[in-house]
Structure 1
Amino acid sequence: MQHIQGISRNQLRISSLEDAISSDNQVRFIDAFVNTISILRLGFSLQTLKKEGRPSYQTPVFLKIYLYGYLNGIRSSRKLEKECFRNLEMQWLLEGICPNYHSISDFRKNNPVALKNLFKLFVCFLKDIDLIGAETIAIDGTKSRAHNSKKANFNQKKIDKHLEYIENKTQEYLTALQENDVQENPVIIQNIQEKIERLKGNKLRYELLEEKLKASGEPQISTTDSDARALLVQGQVVEISFNIQAAVDAKHNLVVATHTINRNDRNALSAIALEAKENLGIATYSALVDKGYHNGKQIEICQQANITTIVAQPNQGKSNENGTQPDYLVANFQYDKNTDTYTCPQGETLHTTGNWHKKSSSKDGYNFKKYRTSKCKECAVKHLCTSRSGGREIDRGQYADAVEENNKRYRENPQLYRKRQEINEHIFGTIKRQWGYNHTNLTGLEKVNGEHSLIMLVYNIKRSINILGVPDLIAKLHKWNSPYKAKVLFLLKTNHLKLTNALDFYLMKLVA
């Protein structure tokens, strides 16, 4: 059987780059999108023309490189430089331009805020073409390993351990020298003085690190990336990492808000929830959130912003007393808002003096009131309720009303809450497992924020292409851009434009 034969390398062909790129190739959307937006309005640093030296590359060139690179799992600046030479799609996209890796790398480091603005602008576009429902949004976070090893992360306990080791080792060397001096035939100890001097240098380094840690007011410090933190990843596993927050719309599982923090989820709910509301320019929506975000203060902030939260209720512990049986947990005490009292399972009423107490002085602290009843001392089932000699005591925090309303919604909407994992969990799986974006090589929280915004942007681009296709998406982009540009220009000229957060992003499309 005759095999299929290839084309001779010496065969002369007449063709263009345009002929090599199909109409549904994703690079055509990248090109159309970058050519539509206003680089200056978004805050990208522009390459200025100089009278001497080699001409610079235009800023959109680097943006196209990174959008193409991240869409195809390539983020190394050196690998992107190679793709500019050998990749036919990249040659079409850049029209044959091949910047060096250093210039490519500088663009990503110098434009973190602009990349975040670009992500927000694309969210506005997705909402206007009806790919975002803006009714139900799932919020979650995932850890991304930082460019900082565990050895380069320190807390006070770790520093004390190193200093103790240095002290013991130094004393060991000094004792060995003393014992050697009193012997009749002393043995020559090699390099011991050098070892002692090296220990002194290490001790000074750890003491300076200790001073820096105390001055920062933080419980830990990282030396390679000062913004990186040791965060709990899963179970008891701790990694030096950042925490990517993402709000995902339920209609087509598109990301509508994202930012990166260097702490756990406990105090992160309100910031990402408010960002989603601002990016979409909506009055209200329902937020589905797991129990790691359950925090009274955060839930109340969302409530005040007209965001309906359904945050999973953590497992109910005992009360603030030991020995409580399941039937006498706090959840079984009925609170009456009108009388500001609790009624216990035995029908007795617990009252408060009305005095507020402070839980703690940290940022997680809150005020609370205590509720008691003198009937506890005479109660026949007191031993089932509490081991406290003075009787049962219940604390009610200042955010209890908001928490109880949230918990009620959670119990009444089990089917809706179950959609949370379907909406946002696969996004992190795609980004980290399939694309390999489970770490960052950038340092500093602002730069890491920029890279993660770029990752979420290309996720939205790829998903919207899968939904609509490239030709349809480009057509909607052109249709979306032209009428609004004319409308904004008219409002600006007639002084009828009232700037809002949403309109600010539309204005970015205008030519500076």
Structure 2
Amino acid sequence: MSQDEHQGEAAGGLFEDLPAVRREDEQAARQARMAAKRQGAVRLLQPNRSQIELRASDLESLLGEDHRARLVWGYVEQQDLSRLTDAIKARGSNAGRAAIDPRILFALWLYAVLEGVGSGREVARLTREHDAYRWLCGGVSVNYHALNDFRSGNEALMDEVLTANVAALAAAAAISLERVAQDGMRVRADAGAASFRRQASLEQHLAEAGELVREVKQRAQDDPGASSRRAKAAKQRAAEDREERIRAALEQLPQVQAAKRRNGDKPEDARASTTDADARVMKMGDGGFRPAFNVQLATTCEDQVIVGVAVSNVGSDMAQMVPMVEQVVERTGSTPGQWLVDGGFPAHEQIDAVHEQTQGKTEVLAPVPEPRRKSGDDDTPPTDKHQRKEGDTDAVAQWRQRMAGDEAKELYKQRAATAECVNALARNRGLQRMPVRGLTKVRAVAYLYALAHNLMRMVKIAPQLLGLGTGASVAAAAVA
């Protein structure tokens, strides 16, 4: 059998069930193809991304009237930033470039926090590409150096703005200090676990860093034309910065050793970070141990407004209650009625100090720990943890008795509903890892998050303080 006959037989076997093509249909299809060919090629609107466009628009028209950026700017305009403007040297006909309005930098950071952006470089990029950030800048060019310097260098200003914010809410009777909840949140530090070293290693690295600084300086003197002036200066700054960070870690080491002694650990095992000397290894929420800071927030239970912010490098909450109570009293001018904390706070000394400080006006609501049982006392009936024990002061005895009642137990449930909610909002807004180093700068970041949170709460509970009404546009700005 020939090859053609074989292929014909195979084709017939495969397609023998198909209907035969009629000659009229074949001619019609051929005529349709010829007609389409005579009409020419298909015309399509294709993209031309190299085409230059001229758009006539102003920044004001980019955002709606209820946009959140307008809310942020309206709030910033009400703040007293005179301490920053008074320090500007560009005045009148004096030489020097005009300074960026501090209100722009403040508004950019507040809006960035609300949007979950924590990087200065990212904010600088958004000021060129995002309409809301462009509107806040109003045509002013902003770089990440100015943004980072503003955030890191104005911890005292953020503290003052938070105090003014809380005082205004209290004066308007928009918040109630009847119950305040305090909770600690471990936030990852900008330091790696490998940067923690013992004293011998730190001293060795300090000597090496000092030698490197001397070599860089000597090389620049011996061969001035070897590289550009800027590159040489950068190398020298990097070497000096490393030497300074190691020196700071050595200075922090005695504090770490003292904490080790208090906890019953070996002081010779104390380690400090060469990246961020203020950071400490803490137990995190997932049970792991990582470099972190302890961010403390005090929040009103009824209104969920943050009235106190503190940052420490101590992993325990045991001694954090009294300083926070003092801070809230100082900020608001009022004494809280009840102070809600979890089981990590109520050391007896802290309860006594709060009682003495507030003259008994503040009641501590915290769970009473179960009494420790000695080995071999399994047959002995457990003692009532709410009964007064030997050595208890009147304040501690009152706390035990108070927590035995059903009313106190019911009120204590507000702690988790308040503190955990505020912590979760901060996490959702990007407070997962600190973008700065050092306690002072970390504290400034914590203040920013508190101010952003309170701004959103003001829209809900006191829009009149922002010059707003109570219509649908206000609600839209709060959730935008």
Other-structure match for 2:477: none
Change (3 A) 1:107 1:235: closer
SS of 1:243's equivalent in the other structure is strand
Which residue, out of 240, 247, 250, partners 2:298? Answer: 247
Partner letter of residue 258 of structure 1?
V
CA distance in 2, matches of 1:36, 1:116: 16
> Is 1:140 paired with 2:183?
yes
Q: Which runs of 5+ in 1 are unaligned?
A: 1-7, 163-205, 336-341, 343-395, 478-512
Partner letter of residue 275 of structure 1?
Q
Q: Does the CA contact (< 8 Å) of 2:387 and 2:400 recur in 1?
A: no
More strand by share: 1
Other-structure match for 1:373: none
Other-structure match for 1:24: 66
CA distance in 2, matches of 1:119, 1:215: 30
Other-structure match for 1:439: 433
Q: Does the CA contact (< 8 Å) of 2:278 and 2:438 recur in 1?
A: yes
How far apart are residue 284 of structure 1 and its match? 3.8
> Is 1:410 paired with 2:403?
yes
Q: Does the CA contact (< 8 Å) of 1:44 and 1:114 recur in 2?
A: no
How far apart are residue 245 of structure 1 and its match? 0.5
Structure whose CA Rg is larger: 2
SS of 2:284's equivalent in the other structure is strand
CA distance in 2, matches of 1:266, 1:234: 17
Change (3 A) 1:312 1:46: farther
CA distance in 1, matches of 2:117, 2:386: 57
CA distance in 1, matches of 2:275, 2:401: 45
SS of 1:411's equivalent in the other structure is coil
SS of 2:183's equivalent in the other structure is strand
How far apart are residue 312 of structure 1 and its match? 1.4
Partner letter of residue 449 of structure 1?
R
Change (3 A) 1:100 1:209: closer
> Is 1:123 paired with 2:166?
yes
> Is 1:308 paired with 2:374?
no
Other-structure match for 1:422: 417
Partner letter of residue 27 of structure 1?
A
> Is 1:222 paired with 2:299?
no
Change (3 A) 1:247 1:332: closer
Which residue, out of 324, 341, 346, partners 2:377? Answer: 324
CA distance in 2, matches of 1:80, 1:63: 12
> Is 1:291 paired with 2:343?
yes
Change (3 A) 1:210 1:91: closer
CA distance in 1, matches of 2:347, 2:144: 45
Q: Does the CA contact (< 8 Å) of 1:247 and 1:255 recur in 2?
A: yes
CA distance in 1, matches of 2:253, 2:323: 27
What are the superposed Cα offsets for residues 240-268 of structure 1, whole Å, 9 maximum, x if unpaired?
A: 11111111101221211111111110111
Other-structure match for 1:74: 117
CA distance in 2, matches of 1:467, 1:401: 38
Partner letter of residue 33 of structure 1?
Y
Mapping for residues 164-313 of structure 1, pairs under 5 Å: 213-214=253-254, 217-218=257-258, 219=260, 220=270, 221-234=272-285, 236-263=287-314, 264-304=316-356, 305=358, 306-313=361-368
Tell me the TM-score normalised to structure 1 length. Answer: 0.63
CA distance in 2, matches of 1:71, 1:17: 21
Identity of aligned pairs, percent? 23
Partner letter of residue 368 of structure 2?
Q
Partner letter of residue 129 of structure 2?
R
Partner letter of residue 213 of structure 1?
L
Partner letter of residue 150 of structure 2?
F
How far apart are residue 210 of structure 1 and its match? 8.0
How far apart are residue 437 of structure 1 and its match? 1.3
SS of 1:139's equivalent in the other structure is strand
Change (3 A) 1:153 1:13: closer
How far apart are residue 465 of structure 1 and its match? 2.7
Q: Does the CA contact (< 8 Å) of 1:45 and 1:110 recur in 2?
A: no
Mapping for residues 335-414 of structure 1, pairs under 5 Å: 396-397=390-391, 400-412=393-405, 413-414=408-409
Partner letter of residue 256 of structure 1?
V
The count of corresponding residues between Structure 1 and Structure 2 is: 362
Q: Does the CA contact (< 8 Å) of 2:370 and 2:385 recur in 1?
A: no
Q: Does the CA contact (< 8 Å) of 1:84 and 1:97 recur in 2?
A: no
Which residue, out of 430, 438, 449, partners 1:455? Answer: 449
CA RMSD of aligned residues (A): 3.5
How far apart are residue 231 of structure 1 and its match? 1.5
How far apart are residue 298 of structure 1 and its match? 0.8
How far apart are residue 44 of structure 1 and its match? 7.8
SS of 1:267's equivalent in the other structure is coil
CA distance in 2, matches of 1:409, 1:334: 10
Which residue, out of 80, 83, 98, partners 2:141? Answer: 98
CA distance in 1, matches of 2:398, 2:387: 14
